[in-house]
Amino acid sequence: MLKPLSAFAALAIFSAAAAFADTHTATPPPATQSQQQNLPPVDTMTCDQMAAEMGGAGQQMHSHLDPQFGVEANAMQQEALQKQREAQQQAMNPTCYIPFLGMACVAQQQQQQQQQQQQAQADAPRQQARMQAQMDRLNNSMAGLDQQRLQAISNRFQQLNCQAQMQGGQQPH
């Protein structure tokens, strides 16, 4: 479970870094195997170097990401929003606030809630398969990237508060 969560976090970081790098630096192409040996140690990198490397990795991930990833992510978001709207509509039913009718409304809401829970349980395997497919797409987009190095860079980037320094125009210490 941790790997998928960190993969999504990495994608968000890489995408942000790629967008930042596109507007602030010339991002070098992704490193080849021979170039990776010449990379500076992470603990010596400046904010600009880390942003450039993460930006390059983000661009590589983006170029290898299955287009279905975005389609499916959008569909999942729309479904979640629809369920949220339905829940809000049920909660705001004015009939529930009228004496005596309120009891019937509450009973109806409880029945609907039970049906929704049963539907969610029945739908769980399909939803899990969708999420696994998304994780697989994301993991496939990271093929060829040194994920340990990128995680170390991400950690150092956060420790040095590079994003704030770069947005504020400050030079790192």
The better pLDDT of the pair 121, 5 is held by 121
Residue 103 pLDDT exceeds 70: yes
Residue-wise pLDDT for 15-60, tens only, equals 544 444 444 434 444 444 435 568 999 999 999 999 999 999 999 9
Burial of 157 (0-12, 13-18, 19+ CB in 10 A): buried
Rounded CA gap, 48 and 24, in Å?
9
Average pLDDT along the chain: 80
DSSP string, 54-113: HHHHHHHHHHHS-THHHHHHHHHHHHHHHHHHHHHHHHT-GGGGSTTHHHHHHHHHHHHH
Instruction: Work out the widest C-alpha separation in the chain, in whole angstroms.
Output: 77
For the chain, first and last CA: distance in Å?
A: 36
Residues 6+ apart with CB under 8 A from 153: 42, 45, 50, 53, 54
Residue 170: pLDDT band with limits 50, 70, 90:
low
Long-range contacts from 97-100, C-beta under 8 angstroms, 24+ separation: none
Contact predicate 135/4, CB 8 Å: yes
Tokens representing 20 are: 């930042």
Rounded CA gap, 135 and 11, in Å?
11
Residue 10 pLDDT exceeds 60: no
Q: Look at residue 171 in the predicted model and tell me its pLDDT.
A: 55
The better pLDDT of the pair 116, 148 is held by 148
Contact predicate 19/11, CB 8 Å: no
Residue 1 pLDDT exceeds 60: no
Contact predicate 172/162, CB 8 Å: yes
The better pLDDT of the pair 26, 152 is held by 152
Q: Look at residue 7 in the predicted model and tell me its pLDDT.
A: 45
Residue 90: pLDDT band with limits 50, 70, 90:
confident
Q: Look at residue 112 in the predicted model and tell me its pLDDT.
A: 86
Residue 165 pLDDT exceeds 70: yes
Q: Look at residue 94 in the predicted model and tell me its pLDDT.
A: 79
Q: Look at residue 36 in the predicted model and tell me its pLDDT.
A: 59
Q: Look at residue 48 in the predicted model and tell me its pLDDT.
A: 94
Q: Look at residue 50 in the predicted model and tell me its pLDDT.
A: 96
Domain extents for the chain? 2-168
